[in-house]
Amino acid sequence: MKAMLLKKIGPLQAGEARLEPAELPVPEPADHELLVRVAACGVCHTELDEIEGRTPPPVLPVIPGHQVVGRVERAGRHTRLFTAGDRVGIGWIYSSCGRCAFCLAGNDNLCAQFAATGRDVNGGYAQYMTVPETSAHAIPDVFPDAEAAPLLCAGAIGYRSLRLTGLQDGQSLGLTGFGASAHLVLQMARHRFPSSSFFVFARSEAEREFARQLGAVWAGDTDEAPPEKLDCIIDTTPAWKPVVQALANLKPAGRLVINAIRKEERDKNSLLELDYARHLWLEKEIKSVANVSRADISECLRLAAEIPLKPEIQEFTLDQANQALAELKASKIRGAKVLFLGG
């Protein structure tokens, strides 16, 4: 099978093609696994974090990719949920222990033995991959393969972030950064909270205009103050400065949810601007988001089909994976980037 391999960790330079094309054997599914023929795989900022060493794979080489849509080619002997030909989706959560307090409470995203698709095991930048049947999800018929792919991470992590805000209908929500996840959150939030108002902070005017098209009542630069203080804000940026600014834009008892796997070290001096009275006083809250649970993915897919949610996508071939990553690194973003393999 064709695959794109990550063999080396380090800063990704402009014009560098870090992933290497390879011909590999088709993997064999274990008794509890599915062999999936990949049709589409979303390109996520987390892949850049893997490549550049902020969340490094434990073993190299590895096949990245964790927003996977495909069809079951073969099911292991002890599977019972899916059969050959079924269309399934695979997200960031590949496996967990299933026994700890977090797993038993439905918070398998917090399990100490959490394993990530495309980091701890081979992922979807390939024609085939295997996955435990319990980590595969049925894809609603309303979504074509390429449009379904971003829902499995950008959508699911956005769904979890929205849920963690505790937003009530009629309250205001801000979104800092407007890439693959935030543009899906805005559509989900408008559907679930029709009386709420939505505000977007983004660096580029193209992103701000896109946000207005999707229903934001206001869109400004990341260092602009909105016309009113907000009840909740979700931050999707890799920087610290927007976090400090977001805290200043919250109402008393407001909540900031940080939807990011890491923050840039070069930007950490922005935290020196943190002023207790302006940014934290009056019982403001900060909550981080860690991974996604299996329930997040299945619930996100149900909600997305109900809307129905329309992801904005840019398609690339498998051989163009390095180009898609380079554009992501350069912040050339409108919606989500997806590798389309067909099938």
From first to last of its 343 residues, what are the pLDDT tens digits of the chain?
999 999 999 998 888 899 999 999 999 999 999 999 999 999 998 999 999 998 999 999 999 999 999 999 999 999 999 999 999 999 999 999 999 999 999 999 999 999 999 999 999 999 999 999 999 999 999 999 999 999 999 999 999 999 999 999 999 999 999 887 898 999 999 999 999 999 999 988 989 999 999 999 999 998 899 999 999 999 998 888 999 999 999 999 999 999 987 787 777 788 778 888 889 899 999 999 999 999 999 999 999 999 999 888 999 999 999 999 999 888 776 778 999 997 5
How is the chain split into domains, by residue range? 2-153+292-340, 164-288
Task: Give the residue carrying structure tokens 């599914």.
Answer: 29
Which residue, 29, 290, 17, is CA-closest to 161? 290
Q: What is the pTM of this model?
A: 0.92
209 Cβ partners below 8 Å, 6+ apart?
Answer: 219
pLDDT value for 274: 85
Peptide bond into 227 cis (omega under 30): no
How far apart are the C-alpha atoms of 12 and 15, rounded to whole Å? 9
Lay out the sheet containing 172-176: strands in order across: 218-220, 197-201, 172-176, 230-235, 250-258, 285-288
Which DSSP symbol is given to 158?
H
2-153+292-340: what fold? Quinone Oxidoreductase; Chain A, domain 1 (3.90.180)
Task: Give the residue carrying structure tokens 């929205």.
Answer: 162
Q: What is the pLDDT of residues 188-230, one digit of tens each?
A: 999 999 999 999 999 889 899 999 999 999 999 988 999 999 9
Looking at the chain, list the stretches that DSSP marks H as alpha helix, in order from N- to C-terminal side.
Answer: 45-51, 101-104, 145-148, 154-165, 180-192, 205-213, 241-248, 294-306, 321-329
pLDDT value for 270: 80
Which whole-number Å values give the CA distances from 338 to 66, 96, 134, 235, in the listed order?
11, 26, 24, 23
Number of H helices, E strands in the chain: 9, 17
Which whole-number Å values give the CA distances from 12 to 5, 30, 322, 323, in the listed order?
15, 35, 10, 12
How far apart are the C-alpha atoms of 104 and 87, rounded to whole Å? 27
Most distant pair of Cα atoms in the chain: their distance: 61
| 305 neighbors 282 (Cβ within 8 angstroms) | no
How far apart are the C-alpha atoms of 40 and 124, rounded to whole Å? 8
Which residue, 63, 44, 122, is CA-closest to 329? 44
Q: Give the tokens for residue 17.
A: 């093609």
164-288: what fold? Rossmann fold (3.40.50)
pLDDT value for 239: 86
pLDDT value for 343: 59
